[in-house]
Structure 1
Amino acid sequence: MTYTVYGAAGSGSVPVEAVLTLIGAPYEVIEAVTWEGDAERDKVAPVNPMRQVPALITPANSEGIRETITESAAILIWLAEQHPEAALAPEPGDPRRAQFLRWMSFIPASIYSMFWVRDVPSRLGGDDPAAHQVIQKRTAERIAECWGVMDRQIAPGRWLLGDEMTVLDLYVAVASRWTPGRARFAEVAPRMAEVVARVDRLPELQAFWAERFPFEG
């Protein structure tokens, strides 16, 4: 019943690994630092033609079939549904469900997508260094703008959706460590900043954070 995660330290696989850690599910990681070049991306190609992480290989079902799931938000939602005992997602009919799905979709569509450009600016900027600088600046500004939009439209309690933690909290806690960084995140999303700091301090994840995404600040 072991999961396999294709991922890398500090990457989009980290919230997936964090969820598996919290629910106590056994898993192994195949390290693929895809932003370091084609050799690393090729490691993921057999399970994800997009050559991106994360990718999750599920345990074998009753017919011995292991399924592949890609896209971080889909993986997180699926894991929460497969392990309802962990209570990491509002169930259908829960008043929080609509906003949960809304923001779980917003992060990859509006924020995560920016890093496809940032990781390799030549994808859109060609060989022009000046264009690369513009791309880096404008994508950082766009990410900050989107965090601000989200912060103004949620009403967090102890966690982003109220009094119970969900995979959304883990997703934001990881993504907010990326560019433009937590200091900027705190400026544009002060209410969410309080929540992600709480996620950082979860006792159950201290050893995990130290290994997979060391962070100070």
Structure 2
Amino acid sequence: MTLEALTLYGAAGSGSVAVEATLRLLGIDYTLIEGATWAEPAARNRVAPANPMRQIPTLVLADGEVLTESAAILIYLADLHPASGLSPAADDPLRGRFLRWMLYVSSAIYALHWIKPDVRRIGVPLALRDTVVDAVHDRIAFCWSTMDQRLAPAGPYLLGERLTVLDLYVNVVSRFGPWRERFIEAAPTMAPMVQRVDADPRLASFWLDRFSFD
């Protein structure tokens, strides 16, 4: 399938950055429609025709097919380019582990960030926002710790010898609150692997532009 004329709805400092990093490594051109949907009504309105959830990332393919959910987009792009090594093949012994942790990051960690912009989404009054956000951050740290204790990587990257979209995904999501410092504390085994991706010369300037620690 051709990936010509890709359109990505995304924003700096968001989960779409992992998709952008993947497209960059694959050498695929795309049109970026920038907009922080969690903070800008205009951005939500722009993405709504493609994604009724009005969320990013949303990727529109050349044939009009729409992909949402960052983990799904990352797996799709990596699988479409097997020579890149960005995902284990279906018959690779690492495939099950790859899928497990991609969906774990999506469901156990990334999904919790949906609560923070408006805690009323889970029936909590705004007056309790700080308490709820603190609890969410505690849960996220626990989930990172759980992953760290069970992933058991045997190489410089999270699945071993090769960089995959799992590394890119964890790199980006670990930049969200409760911030990278707490990730390093909660996940000491994964921390140097994620920092290796920070320093990847193909992405170093990209991180500064799209999701700087500053």
Normalising by structure 1, what TM-score? 0.93
Displacement of 1:144? 0.3
Distance 1:38 1:30 in 2: 14
Pairing 1:155–2:152 present: yes
Given that 2:10 and 2:36 are in contact with CA atoms closer than 8 Å, whether structure 1 keeps it comes out as yes
Given that 2:119 and 2:126 are in contact with CA atoms closer than 8 Å, whether structure 1 keeps it comes out as no
Count of paired positions: 210
Given that 1:125 and 1:132 are in contact with CA atoms closer than 8 Å, whether structure 2 keeps it comes out as no
Pairing 1:53–2:53 present: no
Normalising by structure 2, what TM-score? 0.94
Pairing 1:69–2:48 present: no
Secondary structure (helix, strand or coil) at the match of 1:29 reads strand
Pairing 1:134–2:131 present: yes
Q: Which amino acid aligns with 2:145?
A: G
Q: Which amino acid aligns with 1:67?
A: E
Secondary structure (helix, strand or coil) at the match of 1:161 reads coil
Distance 2:25 2:33 in 1: 19
Given that 2:17 and 2:172 are in contact with CA atoms closer than 8 Å, whether structure 1 keeps it comes out as yes
Displacement of 1:207? 2.1
Question: Is the deviation greater in 119-128 or in 202-211?
Answer: 119-128
Given that 2:21 and 2:203 are in contact with CA atoms closer than 8 Å, whether structure 1 keeps it comes out as yes
Q: Where do residues 75-94 of structure 1 align in structure 2 (5 Å cutoff)?
A: 75-94=73-92
Distance 1:51 1:102 in 2: 27
Given that 1:125 and 1:135 are in contact with CA atoms closer than 8 Å, whether structure 2 keeps it comes out as no
The partner residue of 1:204 within 202, 205, 209 is: 202
Cross-structure match for 1:182? 180
Distance 2:81 2:35 in 1: 26
Cross-structure match for 2:114? 116
Question: Is the deviation greater in 34-43 or in 18-27?
Answer: 34-43
Q: 1:43-91: CA deviations, max 9, x gaps?
A: 11111111110011113xxxxx221100000000000011112110000
Displacement of 1:125? 4.5
Distance 2:47 2:190 in 1: 33
Distance 1:55 1:2 in 2: 14
Question: Is the deviation greater in 37-46 or in 154-163?
Answer: 37-46
What is the identity percentage for the equivalent residue pairs of Structure 1 and Structure 2? 50
User: CA RMSD, aligned part only?
Assistant: 1.2
Displacement of 1:37? 3.7
